[in-house]
Structure 1
């Protein structure tokens, strides 16, 4: 792929016109004239992708750790904003380098070394977008059944294809279309979500909610890690993809603030309300474990089911669009030489196949998905720790040409960062366990450090804390601050890389 150099970007400025229907930019540097976004624009994609009523389902999963309502509320109030603030720190790199997250990460891992965390990122994005498509498909069948409409195999197939088509079309059209789409969806999903809350308030039983006993500190930590992984950390590998069109003059603090506010404000409210609903009705809690959206729809009056269903599906599609757009960019960063729309289409095919397989053939997917999420969450947290430390240490913008040149100042491999990633992952996996041993037996190898470190083994109090994710993040952050500061200064002092790459 030919990458746009600063010289080419400057030449393109004079020819800049209204954005084309299909975004042609791939992983190359965004031309100066196209960097017109403002920090407040970041509110729309992050809010729209996270305002889904699906967020209420986390109330059930948090209670699954054996914590009280107040402990669970504290987890939501801390874990969600902090996780999106970490996304905001990564988003700063997008403004400084005007390239996708996984391209900017080459400054920390090397042009070729970045492919290691890049593969983890791609798998994570594919997993998330497929999960959201599955949720939308199952919700369609459940709502149709309650309305007395056909809800069998034919409907599931049609729903899966329609959902996948919406996601793929929007992601192929690209950044400008997605930003407009998210702006519209924000108002629609927000309004219907408020209506849902009003209609289901009578379902809350505060006596039952307050009667839920408190859990151990380890249980609170486990719930905190799950919430952080499910929200901000689940998006952190794509954070700079949505800030790369920001003006160079944009404030770093404003980028972090709008990213955090947009991503966290809706989930905090939705999770707390979900805690109230789940704590009020054990039967509802059980239903949410299999079909979150369908279960939440089951307590609504019939007349509101259609708008609820449409809004829920659109909100899930909104989140999946962000994922598939970015997974396409990540695919390109791994060296695949195809246009960006084609990369998004390839990931769309994978999403469709995954959705159909899970809906029609898998016995259970919630549990394996959560196991998959924690497993990939460990190296992803390590990568985030490295990159956040790298972003906070740098004093000047990226050498854009060097991001595409293995002989440039960032080199082919950064062995300190890669070594940190490996060591942090080994430690992290040793401190998490597969909490879904029956549904995901392929993950039963984890937790090997719990007993040697005196934490009680796989049946001890720390086993379900998933502390390995936080350890991996913090370990990589600290090691990078200590060991790479000098190298970063040398990188910044090196001559600029030639534009012919």
Structure 2
């Protein structure tokens, strides 16, 4: 295939509103640098919600040292899987869940998409709640519904502009973050002392350690179902290692930094809420700076809400397309993004309860439902089909991959069931978890079981026939392959 022309790629990136959604991205619209993945994923994690995640260990009685080790290990593990998904984007030019039709089927993938939409709406509800708390703290106007509406509206507008504007915005916001939270972090370490016992492991429990580890891992893993949505416009000759590196480094640095800062403020201000603790820390470093710091955090929250709205809209369109073929026009994407933003706005407006308690439970459930999917998808891509897919068949009902991918759905279900005895939630603790003193190792069980089951079932796939079909399909599309994924 011919390489995309720079003029064509630049023209697409210069459009005010993105025209594509779930269809394959033609080669003459590809461009950009994998380096942009660093700022996108760094800023997606460098926000107050991530900071709140780092406070969970302290809420369970853990020291700063315990929380720090759990955060670094959890973020390192969770980001591995997300980064490998990101490497698929340039190679396939497809949104993540459209590619998952190869494992779960044309219609079967809708089940996974609905789970992802639920998780994204949940994240946006929590993000909006924190944004509302910031505006209440700064303005002293307790009108949360208004604040949720304004935050949702700003995020929706950016999501409608689409892929290229989201990348640009995250790059600009990276500099704003470094000028504010970067200075705060350095100053806090120098100026604000931690009690000596916070540097030890007294009172260590596996339950608290694994709760913080699981929260960090699930937070990093939570991007996996849509991470390649943000790398699919890169050129196919992009080395997978580069996409993987910039995605991994962006998520790991952003998530680890803010979670460690969260553990720090939780150790200094025991029992404090995220907004109040951050404001108090900034004021302790420089009196009166807390308000400025909170305001500087708002654009990052809006941007991450945008990232989630954009991705959830992809999932909704995929669900609709799996039921009845949809022509993926700009208008369809506009409607889908508006629906997602509206659902999260309504959910935030009617929600009550303590933020950290709800968010901790949400992250645990998210981890459980995503782990089997990520295992199935990665095993299929790297070990079973080894990146060979017939792209046009992904868009055909009753095509090569079928309506219901029994192998993927079986492996997913078996992985979920296998985790139940090891699960630790606010509502249920499995018998094995109880025997382990409340330690949660369900993550590792789900990854191993789902991956092994799919690897065994994948042996029944005629992989050589699929590779031949992929080569024929590639040759038939011509130099630019502009017809892929279109009705």
TM bin, normalised by shorter chain, reads 0.7 to 0.9
Render the CA deviation track for 1:61-103: whole Å, top value 9, x for unaligned. Answer: 0233444433322222222122122111111221222111110
Structure 1 window deviating more from structure 2 (270-279 vs 187-196): it is 270-279
Aligned to 1:423: 414
Structure 1 window deviating more from structure 2 (200-209 vs 262-271): it is 200-209
Question: Which residue of the other structure, out of 85, 104, 116, is the alignment partner of 1:90?
Answer: 85
Task: Give the Cα separation in 2 of the matches to 1:377 and 1:139.
Answer: 27
Report whether the alignment pairs 1:240 with 2:240: no
Aligned to 1:345: 338
Task: Give the Cα separation in 1 of the matches to 2:424 and 2:200.
Answer: 29
| Partner SS for 2:461 | helix
Q: Is the 8 A contact 1:209 1:276 kept in 2?
A: no
Task: Give the Cα separation in 2 of the matches to 1:243 and 1:493.
Answer: 26
Task: Give the Cα separation in 2 of the matches to 1:51 and 1:254.
Answer: 21
Structure 1 window deviating more from structure 2 (399-408 vs 247-256): it is 399-408
Question: Which residue of the other structure, out of 425, 429, 440, is the alignment partner of 1:466?
Answer: 440
Render the CA deviation track for 1:152-187: whole Å, top value 9, x for unaligned. Answer: 23xx33322211111111111111111111111111
Task: Give the Cα separation in 1 of the matches to 2:177 and 2:302.
Answer: 12
Q: Tell me, which stretches of 5 or more residues in structure 1 are unaligned?
A: 1-5, 145-149, 436-443
Task: Give the Cα separation in 2 of the matches to 1:342 and 1:310.
Answer: 30
For the structure 1 residues 370 and 15, does the alpha-carbon distance in structure 2 shift closer, same or farther, using more than 3 Å as the test?
closer
Q: Is the 8 A contact 1:91 1:256 kept in 2?
A: yes
Residue 15 of structure 1 and its aligned partner are, at CA, apart by: 11
Residue 397 of structure 1 and its aligned partner are, at CA, apart by: 4.2
For the structure 1 residues 125 and 299, does the alpha-carbon distance in structure 2 shift closer, same or farther, using more than 3 Å as the test?
same
For the structure 1 residues 312 and 428, does the alpha-carbon distance in structure 2 shift closer, same or farther, using more than 3 Å as the test?
same
Q: Is the 8 A contact 2:265 2:278 kept in 1?
A: no
Aligned to 2:467: 492
For the structure 1 residues 399 and 269, does the alpha-carbon distance in structure 2 shift closer, same or farther, using more than 3 Å as the test?
same
Aligned to 2:481: none
Task: Give the Cα separation in 2 of the matches to 1:14 and 1:286.
Answer: 51
Question: Which residue of the other structure, out of 298, 313, 326, is the alignment partner of 2:298?
Answer: 313
Task: Give the Cα separation in 1 of the matches to 2:192 and 2:8.
Answer: 57
Residue 306 of structure 1 and its aligned partner are, at CA, apart by: 3.7
Question: Which residue of the other structure, out of 168, 178, 186, is the alignment partner of 2:166?
Answer: 178
Task: Give the Cα separation in 2 of the matches to 1:83 and 1:244.
Answer: 21
Aligned residues: 460
Residue 480 of structure 1 and its aligned partner are, at CA, apart by: 2.0
Question: Which residue of the other structure, out of 197, 200, 215, is the alignment partner of 2:204?
Answer: 215
Q: Is the 8 A contact 1:199 1:300 kept in 2?
A: no
Aligned to 1:78: 73
RMSD: 2.7
Q: TM (normalized to structure 2)?
A: 0.87
Report whether the alignment pairs 1:412 with 2:394: no
Task: Give the Cα separation in 2 of the matches to 1:244 and 1:14.
Answer: 13
For the structure 1 residues 492 and 67, does the alpha-carbon distance in structure 2 shift closer, same or farther, using more than 3 Å as the test?
farther
Question: Which residue of the other structure, out of 279, 294, 318, is the alignment partner of 1:297?
Answer: 279
Residue 478 of structure 1 and its aligned partner are, at CA, apart by: 2.3
For the structure 1 residues 128 and 485, does the alpha-carbon distance in structure 2 shift closer, same or farther, using more than 3 Å as the test?
farther
Residue 307 of structure 1 and its aligned partner are, at CA, apart by: 2.7
Q: Is the 8 A contact 1:293 1:312 kept in 2?
A: no
Aligned to 1:384: 374
| Partner SS for 2:15 | coil
Question: Which residue of the other structure, out of 175, 183, 186, is the alignment partner of 1:195?
Answer: 183
For the structure 1 residues 260 and 219, does the alpha-carbon distance in structure 2 shift closer, same or farther, using more than 3 Å as the test?
same
Aligned to 1:482: 456
Report whether the alignment pairs 1:375 with 2:357: no
Residue 188 of structure 1 and its aligned partner are, at CA, apart by: 0.3
Q: Is the 8 A contact 2:87 2:240 kept in 1?
A: yes
For the structure 1 residues 67 and 370, does the alpha-carbon distance in structure 2 shift closer, same or farther, using more than 3 Å as the test?
closer
Q: TM (normalized to structure 1)?
A: 0.85
Q: Tell me, which stretches of 5 or more residues in structure 2 are unaligned?
A: 477-483
Task: Give the Cα separation in 1 of the matches to 2:156 and 2:184.
Answer: 28
Residue 136 of structure 1 and its aligned partner are, at CA, apart by: 0.7
Aligned to 1:395: 386
For the structure 1 residues 33 and 307, does the alpha-carbon distance in structure 2 shift closer, same or farther, using more than 3 Å as the test?
farther
Q: Is the 8 A contact 1:204 1:277 kept in 2?
A: no
Residue 493 of structure 1 and its aligned partner are, at CA, apart by: 3.4
For the structure 1 residues 293 and 119, does the alpha-carbon distance in structure 2 shift closer, same or farther, using more than 3 Å as the test?
same
Render the CA deviation track for 1:232-258: whole Å, top value 9, x for unaligned. Answer: 112111111111011110111111111
